[in-house]
Structure 1
Amino acid sequence: MREEDPPVPVLRGVDLRVDRGEFVALMGRTGAGKTTLCLSFNGLVPQATGGVIRGRVLVQGRDTRRFPPASFARDVGMVFQDPESQLFQLTVEDEIAFGLENLGVPPDEIDRRIDWALSLVGMEGYRRRSPRRLSGGQMQRIAIAAALATRPALLVLDEPTTHLDPRGKSEVFHSLRHLRQILDCAVVMATQDVEWIVSETHRVAMLLEGRLAFVGGEGDGLDDLREAHWLYEYGIPQVNRIVQVLLPSSIGLSFASIPKVAEALRPARWHPPERGFLPANSPPDGPSVVKVEGLDFVYPNGVRALSGLSLDIKEGEYVALIGPNGAGKSTLARVIMGLLSPTQGRVLVCGQDTRSTPVSQLARLVGYAFQNPDHQIFSPTVREEIAFGPRNVGCTDAEVREIVDAMLARFHLEPLADIPPSILGYGLRRKVAVAAVAAVRPRVLILDEPTGGLDRVSANELLDFVDELHQQGTTIILITHDMTTVAERAHRCIVLVDGRLLFDDTPRQVFDRPDILKAASLMPPPVTRLAQALDAPPEISPILTAEEFLQAWAGGPDDER
């Protein structure tokens, strides 16, 4: 990572074959080497990244070391983990046309393919829009559409659904299925999204510290790894916990679809607890820390992002801000932070009007971790990145050192303390960004998709840290498409659709409203759907956590099957 450092092995002895029409999922912890392996499929590793490669990668029989990456453009479509890093045209249609023009596709065919690719990812009405004015999830869809339009023999996608709402994920997987059917295209996807891949992929390749731990189909070979309990870390959140307790001899079911797990659990053995489930925490009765009054926001290009929004968030609340891509969630966060000024209405943060309060002053009250960590990382080392905020709010040198050391330890970043954060992997950059914001100890912490690109273990470590801050009195506003996290951690859900407030209540109330979920392109957590598949009685529905499921199943987890 630095000139004086010894080489860092990233991949070790990887052997993998992908055939036409096959869908292979790459899984593994953050930093396991998934992105490096993806970038090797068109020669970007090592030709663009540098480094030493031993062995070879053959695509359509050609060695990626011996041909320039551009020569693989017709055969390999690539979607990077950060969609912004590959979007550079002025309009969406220009973005999709760029690759096709360079491949010599006739203009009439280019026009047809633009419409075709946009329809596959649900972005038909965005042809003339600027990619830079889209939400993170919408950018991901455009990057995928641009890769689909070239109709490659191999499509490589690095965490392509990280910022997508459930409907967007469904559309992406449907488009990949369609592409494989009509073109016999091979797909390799690096992902942490187990629930989708178990029903869509042919094989799963698991990377552990740069080595392939195993390669197998759904359930294939997994039953031979019953002692490898680390596999549970990668199963469907919540569902794998239930498999561990109720079906301990069937570790392969951690990678099974919800219908298959439900089938293994039948006949249902519900025994609802006499007192039901504990009610959600009552909202704090403290002062308002964020008050939104009649807020409208319109971007300079005329796109209305927020309309007539009014909210009151009390000190000490843990709020999940949810809704489909493009609903206005990130825009609202930026208005609260003072980075955008309301078109109409006002926002008060701890009683201060964001229209007249300097951002530097608001930054002492509100911390904001951007959806894209590259929007806020700028320091030469991880240590200096984390130190920047505390130093600028007046902490002494001793206090800064103490805070930085604590953050480095809490996020397991000590070995990287003197490394430039900009060269770290996406998941590690996200950890650095959250650590830097939390280091200021703001009264309100806004986290925009903080677990995107993180494996489940790393995501839980980050969220446990957020829980600690909340218990210490910090108000949390979490923007996320991860309904498991919403169900398990948030006390209040604010649902936005098309910039308007659709619903505002507890997670249990939100997940008990199919009409709200449909309108907001959301779906209940996996355990809720598993309980529904097993006909959970109304008095305990909706079940939101694995613990609730086990408590209601035949008297609890200690009951033997």
Structure 2
Amino acid sequence: MKKPVIEFTDYSFKYRTQKEPTLHNINLTIMEGEKVLIVGPSGSGKSTLAHCMNGLVPFSYTGESTGTLKVGGKDASKSSIFELSKDVGTVLQDPDGQFIGLTVGEDIAFSLENACVPLNQMKEKVLEAAKIVGVDSLLSHSPQDLSGGQKQRVSMAGAMTNDVNILLFDEPLANLDPATGKYAIELIDEIHKSTKKTIVIIEHRLEDVLYKNVDRIILVCDGRIKADLNPDKLLTTDLLQQEGIREPLYITAMKYAGCHVREEDSPSNLDNMNIAPYKEQISQWFSSRIEPLAAEKREALLEIKDISFSYQKGEEVLKKVSFTVYKGDMLSIVGRNGAGKSTLSKLICGFQTPDKGQILYQGNDLAGYSIKKRAEKIGLVMQNPNQMISKPMIYDEVALGLAARGVPEEEIRPRVEETLKICGLFPFRNWPIAALSFGQKKRVTIASILVLNPQIIILDEPTAGQDFRHYTEIMEFLREMNEKVGITIIMITHDMHLMLEYTSRCVVISDGTLISDSTGAKVLTDSSIIQSASLKETSLYELSMKCGIEKQDGSAFVQHFIEYDKGVRTRG
């Protein structure tokens, strides 16, 4: 009979610096060998819950707790963080923050060295863990030379060498391209099946995690457990929508078609789901679509012409890339980690110089433009707003670029205030930036670029690490900037949902080469592009195939969903 390995009983926790508890009266039991997914909005307490399991609370993050927590049958409050680490291995969201060794082998062996494991035994354990995650051929490599997916695997191997009973994954899909993310979920599932360990996953990307089965989903909201259900049951309720968690796209499409999804049809996994009761309704919904009007001819704003670039001689990162950005575009650039997407943005902004080719802005070659002069036309918003912010107050941060350009104060104030109004930040103009949420900080960085009146804004992973509610808030704001202010927006992203729902065009880069310039619907229904660029076929296309909709209409089905969903969001 299986025994409990994690037991919260009437457990509450308050950080030392807070007035109110982050966790309230938690009652949760996780059994040995279970695979559990924890979801919830940003700030809901799910990370704190995880930190209690691995001992970071209260040993690194101090505070007061009431109730009891047992990990591996032991009272966590009477155990040290070292003792808890023998039961719980943690794989962090950012693998770089977890690396210690100079080589992959050294890093995997770190905990074994601390435990004074004999060398021969240590080598066996390292090789065994490395083989399980598929990095046994990389043991002599530096962790910093690895791809994002390889780094994630090394972190997993390091967590497994202690032979812990519980593996805790904190947002394992963050910063991974779709195909690598899919592999990460396969790898976690394989580890679960082969080792019978207890697996706890914290992740925003619910549909991607459900690619492989989980036993339960724990929904955390406002520091309380709102639901503890099997995935099939949870997806038949409105709980995810109520709490701002994105449900799988195929479930949303079925609801748009008027389907009432039933638990007994196994909706948590589309491959195994019984679609038969819903086929007719879905097909009728698709038949009601209205063909979109032909796009009007637009003005070319930015032209990338046969751009090639190398950081090291003989190793081309970009190879004869050509495409045009039109005025008013909302365009995404996608591809696997290391494909050349971020390098392309550096070339456009002037941080790097192309080896060959031209970049034209309104027909003028940008080769002679300084970075400062380009920034007046093209703004770049980095993924992490904290890397861009340099002033303590909101007004001062947004005014900084104008002041640096010598704009008179009497002109700065009205421009800053108008931009803050557009960005929904005017009521907070005299606030310190430290008082803002991550999403609000993101808006501040966008405002600091917008105030310079650029025609184009490039955003690097604008929604990374955001729950669905904050994701929607940021993306609807950007859509409004695009439609009402006329700003042309280019987004570099791994988020296929973002690409589908918000961008009319998608440029796909694979190994430094442009392989597609089309709609998101067409890209994510083309198996050759998906494979070449490490993308992932959208579940909407899979749903259309299961409903017997002709293959050539698969992209039309996806496009119908995009248009219908846009209408729902606009009305709502």
With the shorter chain as reference, the TM-score category is: 0.7 to 0.9
Question: What is the aligned partner in structure 1 of residue 480 from structure 2?
Answer: 468
Give the whole-Å Cα distance in 2 for the aligned partners of 1:518 and 1:243.
Answer: 30
How does 1:427-506 map onto structure 2 within 5 Å? Answer: 433-434=445-446, 436-438=448-450, 440-471=452-483, 472-506=485-519
Structure with the greater alpha carbon radius of gyration? 2
Q: Is the 8 A contact 1:491 1:507 kept in 2?
A: yes
Q: Is the 8 A contact 2:506 2:519 kept in 1?
A: yes
Q: Is the 8 A contact 2:41 2:245 kept in 1?
A: no
How does 1:121-140 map onto structure 2 within 5 Å? Answer: 130-132=142-144, 139-140=151-152
How does 1:304-315 map onto structure 2 within 5 Å? Answer: 304-315=316-327
Give the whole-Å Cα distance in 2 for the aligned partners of 1:227 and 1:26.
Answer: 14
Question: What is the aligned partner in structure 1 of residue 34 from structure 2?
Answer: 22
Question: What is the aligned partner in structure 2 of residue 420 from structure 1?
Answer: 434
- Residue 310 of structure 2 aligns with an amino acid whose one-letter code is F
Q: Is the 8 A contact 1:159 1:191 kept in 2?
A: yes
Give the whole-Å Cα distance in 1 for the aligned partners of 2:118 and 2:365.
Answer: 54
Q: Residue 284 in 1 paired to residue 298 in 2?
A: yes
Q: Cα distance 1:523–1:375, how it changes in 2: closer, same or farther (>3 A)?
A: same
> Mean alpha-carbon deviation: is it higher for 164-173 or for 129-138?
129-138
Q: Cα distance 1:113–1:318, how it changes in 2: closer, same or farther (>3 A)?
A: farther
Give the whole-Å Cα distance in 2 for the aligned partners of 1:158 and 1:379.
Answer: 31
Relative to the length of structure 2, the TM-score reads 0.81
**Count of residue pairs brought into register by the alignment:** 546
Give the whole-Å Cα distance in 1 for the aligned partners of 2:430 and 2:42.
Answer: 14
Q: Residue 50 in 1 paired to residue 62 in 2?
A: yes
How does 1:321-340 map onto structure 2 within 5 Å? Answer: 321-340=333-352
> Mean alpha-carbon deviation: is it higher for 257-266 or for 167-176?
257-266
Q: Is the 8 A contact 1:154 1:187 kept in 2?
A: yes
| CA distances 1:138-195 after superposition (whole Å, capped 9, x unpaired) | 6545444443455432222221102222321222122212222232211211112221
Give the whole-Å Cα distance in 1 for the aligned partners of 2:545 and 2:562.
Answer: 11
- Residue 524 of structure 2 aligns with an amino acid whose one-letter code is F
- Residue 499 of structure 2 aligns with an amino acid whose one-letter code is V
Give the whole-Å Cα distance in 2 for the aligned partners of 1:7 and 1:98.
Answer: 38
Give the whole-Å Cα distance in 2 for the aligned partners of 1:45 and 1:416.
Answer: 34
> Mean alpha-carbon deviation: is it higher for 395-404 or for 304-313?
395-404
Q: Is the 8 A contact 2:378 2:455 kept in 1?
A: yes
Give the whole-Å Cα distance in 1 for the aligned partners of 2:126 and 2:508.
Answer: 32
Q: Residue 153 in 1 paired to residue 165 in 2?
A: yes
- Residue 296 of structure 1 aligns with an amino acid whose one-letter code is F
- Tell me how far 1:380 sits from its aligned partner: 3.6
Give the whole-Å Cα distance in 2 for the aligned partners of 1:431 and 1:120.
Answer: 42
Question: What is the aligned partner in structure 2 of residue 236 from structure 1?
Answer: 248
Q: Residue 376 in 1 paired to residue 376 in 2?
A: no
Give the whole-Å Cα distance in 2 for the aligned partners of 1:66 and 1:246.
Answer: 53
- Tell me how far 1:345 sits from its aligned partner: 4.6
Give the whole-Å Cα distance in 2 for the aligned partners of 1:405 and 1:311.
Answer: 33
How does 1:94-243 map onto structure 2 within 5 Å? Answer: 94-107=106-119, 130-132=142-144, 139-198=151-210, 199-220=212-233, 230=242, 233-237=245-249, 239-243=251-255
Q: Is the 8 A contact 1:155 1:186 kept in 2?
A: yes
Q: Is the 8 A contact 1:488 1:544 kept in 2?
A: no
Give the whole-Å Cα distance in 2 for the aligned partners of 1:187 and 1:194.
Answer: 16
Q: Is the 8 A contact 1:283 1:317 kept in 2?
A: no
Unaligned runs of 5+ in 1: 552-556
Question: What is the aligned partner in structure 1 of residue 306 from structure 2?
Answer: 293
Question: What is the aligned partner in structure 2 of residue 554 from structure 1?
Answer: none
Q: What is the aligned-residue RMSD (CA, Å)?
A: 4.0
- Tell me how far 1:348 sits from its aligned partner: 4.6
- Tell me how far 1:206 sits from its aligned partner: 0.6
Q: Cα distance 1:217–1:49, how it changes in 2: closer, same or farther (>3 A)?
A: same
- Tell me how far 1:293 sits from its aligned partner: 3.2
Q: Residue 265 in 1 paired to residue 278 in 2?
A: yes
Question: What is the aligned partner in structure 2 of residue 409 from structure 1?
Answer: 424
Give the whole-Å Cα distance in 2 for the aligned partners of 1:190 and 1:109.
Answer: 33
- Residue 399 of structure 1 aligns with an amino acid whose one-letter code is P
Relative to the length of structure 1, the TM-score reads 0.82
Q: Secondary structure at the match of 1:368?
A: strand
> Mean alpha-carbon deviation: is it higher for 384-393 or for 191-200?
384-393
Give the whole-Å Cα distance in 1 for the aligned partners of 2:281 and 2:86.
Answer: 52
For residue 96 of structure 2, the aligned residue among 84, 88, 110 is 84
- Tell me how far 1:455 sits from its aligned partner: 1.6
- Tell me how far 1:526 sits from its aligned partner: 2.2
Give the whole-Å Cα distance in 2 for the aligned partners of 1:401 and 1:384.
Answer: 9
> Mean alpha-carbon deviation: is it higher for 371-380 or for 25-34?
371-380
Q: Is the 8 A contact 2:482 2:489 kept in 1?
A: yes
Give the whole-Å Cα distance in 1 for the aligned partners of 2:296 and 2:535.
Answer: 24
Q: Cα distance 1:279–1:344, how it changes in 2: closer, same or farther (>3 A)?
A: same
Give the whole-Å Cα distance in 2 for the aligned partners of 1:188 and 1:98.
Answer: 23
Q: Residue 36 in 1 paired to residue 76 in 2?
A: no
Q: Secondary structure at the match of 2:24?
A: coil
Unaligned runs of 5+ in 2: 1-14
Q: Secondary structure at the match of 1:409?
A: coil
Q: Is the 8 A contact 2:385 2:442 kept in 1?
A: yes
| CA distances 1:285-337 after superposition (whole Å, capped 9, x unpaired) | 333x252433122259x865323333333333222211122212122222322
Q: Residue 517 in 1 paired to residue 530 in 2?
A: yes
| CA distances 1:242-269 after superposition (whole Å, capped 9, x unpaired) | 3255124759989622242634413566
Give the whole-Å Cα distance in 2 for the aligned partners of 1:341 and 1:112.
Answer: 48
Q: Percent identity?
A: 26
| CA distances 1:80-125 after superposition (whole Å, capped 9, x unpaired) | 3333333455444444343443344555565566666566666677
- Residue 291 of structure 2 aligns with an amino acid whose one-letter code is F
Q: Residue 398 in 1 paired to residue 413 in 2?
A: yes
The structure whose RCO (Cα within 8 Å, separation 6+) is larger is: 1
Give the whole-Å Cα distance in 2 for the aligned partners of 1:448 and 1:121.
Answer: 29
Q: Is the 8 A contact 1:291 1:349 kept in 2?
A: no
Give the whole-Å Cα distance in 2 for the aligned partners of 1:178 and 1:425.
Answer: 37
Q: Secondary structure at the match of 2:61?
A: coil
- Tell me how far 1:204 sits from its aligned partner: 0.6
Q: Secondary structure at the match of 2:42?
A: coil
Question: What is the aligned partner in structure 1 of residue 22 from structure 2?
Answer: 10
Give the whole-Å Cα distance in 2 for the aligned partners of 1:136 and 1:426.
Answer: 23
Q: Cα distance 1:269–1:51, how it changes in 2: closer, same or farther (>3 A)?
A: closer
> Mean alpha-carbon deviation: is it higher for 45-54 or for 176-185?
45-54
Give the whole-Å Cα distance in 2 for the aligned partners of 1:116 and 1:346.
Answer: 50
Q: Is the 8 A contact 1:389 1:440 kept in 2?
A: yes
Give the whole-Å Cα distance in 1 for the aligned partners of 2:77 and 2:452.
Answer: 46
Give the whole-Å Cα distance in 2 for the aligned partners of 1:163 and 1:353.
Answer: 33
| CA distances 1:406-440 after superposition (whole Å, capped 9, x unpaired) | 37736x9959942527xx87667656555554554
- Tell me how far 1:212 sits from its aligned partner: 0.9
Q: Is the 8 A contact 2:525 2:541 kept in 1?
A: no
- Tell me how far 1:512 sits from its aligned partner: 4.0
| CA distances 1:368-411 after superposition (whole Å, capped 9, x unpaired) | 2333445434444566555544554566452365257437736x
Q: Residue 362 in 1 paired to residue 374 in 2?
A: yes
- Residue 540 of structure 2 aligns with an amino acid whose one-letter code is V
